[in-house]
Amino acid sequence: MRVIVQRVKEASCTIANKLYSNIGKGYLLLVGIGLEDDEAIVKKMALKISKLRIFEDEAGKMNLDLKQVGGSLLSISQFTLYADCHKGNRPSFTLARKGQEASDLYNYFNQCLREEGFEVKTGSFGAEMQIALINDGPVTISLEVNDG
């Protein structure tokens, strides 16, 4: 499982020229589900994100987590995180989980985050979406969890 975490001042998802969801301060999550991912891996990633300390404390150190700053989450499914460009210039997505299985694990990921007490907004799985954000910092973290 791969997730890009962007610390944001605000973020939004627009679908078919209509605002679908938005958050203020928090994390924009770009979520990729791989072929080897299962519920245990997804839960591990959700717990990692729930405890991630990338907000600054009064001393200017990244020491505060999302709960401590009252932040929200915008979670966007993004199979392109599994793009493989080793051969040629056109990406292959054979390592990305497809269809209903990917959707189910993405939904489970969001459920796990909600169970940790977070407000989680989403995009629409498989939809053409436009994502806007104001990256705070900028701070962008790439996380990967697998069975190893």
For position 89, which CATH number holds? 3.50.80.10
78 a catalytic residue? yes
**Enclosing domain of residue 124:** 2-144
What is this structure's pTM?
A: 0.93
Average pLDDT rounded to a whole number, residues 27-54: 96
Instruction: Report d(CA 53, CA 129) in Å as an integer.
Output: 28
pLDDT digits (tens, 9 = 90+) for 76-98: 999 989 888 888 888 888 888 98
Domains held by the chain: number: 1
Average pLDDT rounded to a whole number, residues 117-134: 95
Q: Percentage helix, strand, coil, to 5, in the chain?
A: 25, 45, 30
Catalytic residue from among 6, 55, 78, 109: 78
Catalytic residue from among 55, 79, 109, 118: 79
100 a catalytic residue? no
Catalytic residue from among 6, 14, 68, 80: 80
Average pLDDT rounded to a whole number, residues 61-90: 93
Report the interhelical angle of 39-51 vs 99-115 (nearest 10°). Answer: 40
6 a catalytic residue? no
